[in-house]
Amino acid sequence: MHLRQRAFGSVVAWAVFVTAASTAARQGGETFSATAVVKTASGGTATAPLTVIVDRKMSQQEAEGLADAFRAQGAAGLRKALEGVPPTGSIQLGAGTSTPTRLTLERATDKGRLLTIVADTPILFLGAGVPGAKPREGYDFAVLDMEVDASGRGSGTLAPAARISVKEGAFVVDDYGSELVRLTSVKTLK
């Protein structure tokens, strides 16, 4: 299996991570719909509806605590720090079960705002070949980045099973799947 790496879209450096939480203008209560699109092994595409619910965004204090845990002990430290943190919302892919999210950050961009949403459990092991594929060690997060403009429309990406690390001061998402899952037709429902 070929793994790809991508920069943690909204978090280029840890300082941006913490700043993102402090610059959030809205306080949750939003629902988004999108279409998840991925290339198949045969060269076609597969799509599924996606629903993202944001009940709340992280405060600067929460984000700093999680940042400290990650700096000190990596992904294991982040996982431990997330224990007991109330969900920030949920992600539902297709007819699958809704996955609670534990970290939701927002920052302003030149096009609107960028939401980075992390679940502390994977949503799907895409590319594993069979439904219900067994997890691979370390791929125990899901990461969604979604940019939304002032009209509530946008696009994004989803790593439904990911490993998170830091390389040269930047966060890196190592996606289990070999193909990027793109989010198209993103729109705010409420």
The band of 186, judged by pLDDT with boundaries at 50, 70 and 90, is very high
For residue 97, the 8-state DSSP code is: P
Domain range for 154 = 4-188
Predicted local confidence at residue 110, as pLDDT: 93
pLDDT digits (tens, 9 = 90+) for 127-136: 655 555 555 7
Pairing of strands 103-109, 112-119: antiparallel
Predicted local confidence at residue 137, as pLDDT: 72
State the average pLDDT over residues 58-76.
83
For helices 14-22 and 60-82, angle between their N-to-C axes, nearest 10 degrees? 120
CB-neighbour burial class of residue 186 (10 A; exposed 0-12, middle 13-18, buried 19+): buried
How many domains, in total, are found in the chain? 1
For residue 79, the 8-state DSSP code is: H
The yes-or-no verdict on residue 8 having pLDDT over 70 is: no
Do 159 and 182 contact (CB within 8 A), yes or no?
no
Strand partners, 38: 46
Predicted local confidence at residue 130, as pLDDT: 52
CA distance 120 to 100: 8
pLDDT digits (tens, 9 = 90+) for 142-164: 999 999 999 999 999 999 988 88
Name the E strands within the chain.
Answer: 4-7, 30-39, 45-54, 89-93, 99-101, 103-109, 112-119, 141-148, 153-167, 170-175, 181-188
Predicted local confidence at residue 69, as pLDDT: 86
